[in-house]
Structure 1
Amino acid sequence: MSSVCEPVRPLLLGTRRAVVDGHPICAACGTAAVPVGPDRWRHREPNEPYPYDSPWLAPVTWAGLRDLTGFADFTARYPDVARGVSEEDWREGRRRWAAYQEQLDRPGENPLLRLVTILAGGRVTPGFLPVPEPLARVLDLDGRRRELAARFSWAIPTEAALGLAGDHGPLLEVGAGTGYWAALLRARGVDVRPTDAEPAGDTYHRGGRVWTEVTRAVAVDAVNAWPDRTLLVCWPPPDDDAAGYAAVRAYAGDTVLYIGGGADGPTGTARLHRELDLNWTVTDELALPSWPGIPDRLTVWRRSPVRRPLRIRDRCPQCTRFVPTGWTGRCDRCVHARPAALALRSGAHRIEYTREMLVRMPAALRAALERSTARCGPPPED
């Protein structure tokens, strides 16, 4: 195989490497491509675990960046990151990294906003952070997002957002995590009761500190215990109705504050978004600083005078039978009766490829998908 593909090169889709089962693939045959040095690759051997911790695939770290003496050292140390990165990007990224690290553990009035402002180059406005893609790779911006979310919050509070939330106090926050928003609100004199089923240290804030006392309570229990407070829901997960939808349904008040994205984003389940759209009306909204590709806002919802039942049901696009709420794609019966040319399992969902889609994609990508460990259903026809 190697002799046929030499030199082994990873498949590119535009400027990004094609990734199947979490690793790059050979542009010629679709086999997993393993880095062995700066821009040097080989095929993975049969039954060999993929070296995900390879230094040649690692994102930039401050420990790795600060000791490099020049741009040439950077491109040699981080060849995967350095594709399309200019020397100016590298210098600016290094400057922002240094400022970020210097401020990371310093106290302040709103340290999350301060650190995000540093990453964004000194100025943050509502909307996506203005960080060009090459510079974002030098900063490993997605890594910074996860790091700051674990320490503080998934959503970035601003003075305007805190003011708008405070106008609706007293508040009950469910899913408060580290209590970061609640701590900033309390510092401004707002009466807020933060609650969470697993305060800090949970799946979404592993390793984070608690910024203020957070009461341990599942969302519905919290709503029932403090019914006279305005409900604040911040970044409920997209796969857990208990964290968002159930709380809103159990809530007897007239105003809900929701922090997160829309129905096509990473926050809130399909049921939660449908409940808000059907039985609540937006009375105020405020865009928040958002990580690239993840729109975020604070929305104030007012209960409609007459409740309408949530009768919207998801249906299979082929046979129109009902499928679980939020499900994408065809139902299991249709898939069994008429299998797709290729199907992959992605979490709780299934991604289907038609014969026409497979014909149009690069041969190496098709070969890799056909060998994928996420493959489900019968093998494709020859």
Structure 2
Amino acid sequence: MANLVLTEERRSELAALLDDDQRLHAEYPKVAEYLDAAPSLRGTGDDVADAAFDLRFVHYATGGVEHSQNPYWDIVAPSVSEQDGRRVVNGGSANGSPRLAYAQMLLQAMYAYAIPSPETLDWVCQFCDGKPVVELGAGRGYWAAQLSHAGIVIDAYDSEPPDKADNVSFPATSGQKDVWSTVGTVQEYAQRLAASVDFVLLLCWPPGWGATMASEALATFADAGGERVVFIGEPQGGKTGDDAFFEDLSARWSLESADEKYVSWWNLGDSAQGWIKK
């Protein structure tokens, strides 16, 4: 991908923002947090690439939708490399860097845990084959917004919609959207499920560490007659899903498709899979 080219007007806007530290911290505290920490953190060893990443971070994280509909991807895309047969955000360094890891933490809270590359969005469209999608555990609704832009009819739900409740994974912060798409409650999801299961269920980074959300959602969907699931997350024993979820996948579902072009952070093992009911 070509280097980021800014208009003179945008350069002036960013220069004015960065020259006013008080305004930067007030209007974009997460960007300020990154810029405060970055100089003390080891980079990838490529100073030019690290500086380019910083510029993209500042530009897209403060630019609003007029500069990008998918800022998460636009920030990380030039930092993607092939590594062990996978596409990963590592800045060209096999081990990434502490600086990139810090940016990862901020970007996941700002947007989503999984990275919605254009290729993965196309893969989801192909797997869903015209069916509507319902995302449960949608967080800010960032994936729902990107899939909607890609032409999918999608509804998003979460137990703690960030614009309606405190969500520790996606806290409210000045300078960033609470939600990117309308995010309903789990009560509204239950009503949707009762009305019809003629949709593809999307579980994108469902909670792990023993949380039962993933297994309960999959079992309820299957028992109601659901037939297609997109799971984006880590394998069993990782940071997503519980053991019962993976056991149910093996018992009642067949792996139909996997996105070979999925992009992950270098320090994660997540992938995108499409499952159909046996």
* Distance change (3 Å), C-alpha of 1:64 and 1:215: closer
Please, which runs of 5 or more residues in structure 2 have no aligned partner?
A: 1-32
Task: From the two aligned structures, give the one with the greater helix fraction.
Answer: 2
In the alignment, which residue of structure 2 is the partner of 1:111?
Answer: 71
In the alignment, which residue of structure 2 is the partner of 1:203?
Answer: 168
CA contact (8 A) 2:212 2:241 kept: no
Deviation at 1:271, TM superposition (A): 0.9
Deviations 1:161-215 (CA, angstroms, capped at 9, x unpaired): 2223224121111001111111112123211111111112512212252001111
> If the length of structure 2 is used for normalisation, what is the TM-score?
0.71
* Distance change (3 Å), C-alpha of 1:102 and 1:123: farther
Deviations 1:53-86 (CA, angstroms, capped at 9, x unpaired): xxxxxxx941365xxxxxxxx6xxx3xx45xx79
Which of 243, 250, 264 is 2:220 aligned to?
250
Aligned partner of residue 104 in structure 1, secondary structure: helix
Aligned-pair identity (%): 23
Which of 221, 224, 233 is 2:194 aligned to?
224
Deviation at 1:144, TM superposition (A): 1.3
Please, which runs of 5 or more residues in structure 1 have no aligned partner?
A: 1-59, 66-73, 305-382
CA distance in 1, matches of 2:231, 2:143: 13
In the alignment, which residue of structure 2 is the partner of 1:99?
Answer: 56
CA contact (8 A) 2:34 2:103 kept: no
CA distance in 1, matches of 2:136, 2:37: 39
Which structure has the larger Rg? 1
In the alignment, which residue of structure 1 is the partner of 2:9?
Answer: none
Structure 1 stretches of 4+ with a deviation exceeding 4 A read: 121-126
Query: Relative contact order (alpha carbons < 8 A, sep ≥ 6): 1 or 2 greater?
Result: 2
CA distance in 1, matches of 2:158, 2:254: 26
In the alignment, which residue of structure 1 is the partner of 2:118?
Answer: 159
In the alignment, which residue of structure 2 is the partner of 1:143?
Answer: 102
In the alignment, which residue of structure 2 is the partner of 1:280?
Answer: 253
In the alignment, which residue of structure 2 is the partner of 1:194?
Answer: 156
In the alignment, which residue of structure 2 is the partner of 1:234?
Answer: 204
* Distance change (3 Å), C-alpha of 1:226 and 1:147: farther
Aligned partner of residue 193 in structure 1, secondary structure: strand
Deviation at 1:105, TM superposition (A): 2.2
Q: AA paired with 1:232?
A: L
Which of 263, 266, 270 is 1:289 aligned to?
263
CA distance in 1, matches of 2:118, 2:95: 30
CA contact (8 A) 1:153 1:177 kept: yes
CA contact (8 A) 1:219 1:246 kept: no
Aligned partner of residue 76 in structure 2, secondary structure: helix
In the alignment, which residue of structure 2 is the partner of 1:215?
Answer: 184
